[in-house]
Amino acid sequence: MSSSPPPSTRFAIVGGGVTGLAAAYRLTQLLPQSRIELFEASDRLGGVLHTHHRGELLIERGADSLIDKLPWAVDLCRELGLEDQLIPTNAAHRRALVVRAGRLHPVPEGFVVIRPHRLWPLLKTPLLSWRGKLRLLLEPWIPCPKKAEREEHDESVASFATRRLGREVFERLVQPLLAGIYTADPYQLSLAATMPEVLAAEREHGSLYRAAVKQAAHSDKATSSEEAASGARYASFITPRGGLSQLVETLASHLPADQIHLNCPTQRIERTVDSRWNLHSTTGETCGAFQGVIVATPAPRAAELLAAVDPELSELLGQIPYASSAVVSLSFQRDQIADPLNGFGLVVPTVENRPIVAVSFSSVKFAGRAPLDQLLVRVFLGGALHPEQVSLSDDALQEIAVGELRELVGLRGEPLEVDIVRWHEKMPQYHVGHVQLVEEIENRVAQQHGLKLAGNAYHGVGIPQCIHSADLAARRLSMEVEA
Please report which confidence band the pLDDT of residue 217 belongs to, taking 50, 70 and 90 as the band edges: confident
Give dist(CA 104, CA 126) in Å, integer.
10
Does pLDDT of 225 surpass 60? no
Does pLDDT of 104 surpass 50? yes
Q: Does residue 386 contact residue 355 with C-beta atoms inside 8 Å?
A: yes
Q: What is the dihedral of CA 410, 412, 417, 423, to 10 degrees?
A: 40
Q: Does residue 417 contact residue 374 with C-beta atoms inside 8 Å?
A: no
Residue 318's Cβ-side half-sphere holds a number of Cα atoms within 13 Å equal to 11
Instruction: Give the domains, in start order, of the chain with CATH numbers.
Output: 10-48+247-320+432-482 (3.50.50.60), 111-231 (1.10.3110.10), 322-428 (3.90.660.20)
DSSP secondary structure string for all residues of 307-332: TTT-HHHHHHHTTS-EEEEEEEEEEE
Residue 223: the pLDDT is 45
pLDDT in tens, 27-60: 999 999 999 999 999 999 999 999 999 999 999 9
227 compared with 63, residue with greater pLDDT? 63
**What is the average per-residue pLDDT within 321-345?**
97
Taking alpha carbons only, the member of 98, 104, 53 closest to residue 370 is 53
Give dist(CA 344, CA 55) in Å, integer.
23
Residue 216: the pLDDT is 78
Does pLDDT of 1 surpass 60? no
Containing H/E element for 54?
Answer: strand 51-54
How far is CA 32 from each of CA 10, 25, 29, 254, rounded to the nearest angstrom?
A: 11, 10, 6, 12
Give dist(CA 434, CA 429) in Å, integer.
9
Containing H/E element for 204?
Answer: helix 196-205
Give dist(CA 80, CA 194) in Å, integer.
29
Give dist(CA 258, CA 25) in Å, integer.
14
Angle (CA) 198 201 205, round 5°: 155
Please report which confidence band the pLDDT of residue 222 belongs to, taking 50, 70 and 90 as the band edges: very low
The percent of residues above 90 in pLDDT, for the chain, comes to 87
Taking alpha carbons only, the member of 297, 313, 298 closest to residue 442 is 313
Task: Please state the pTM of the whole predicted model.
Answer: 0.93
Does pLDDT of 6 surpass 50? no
Does pLDDT of 428 surpass 60? yes
The percent of residues above 70 in pLDDT, for the chain, comes to 95
Does pLDDT of 481 surpass 90? no
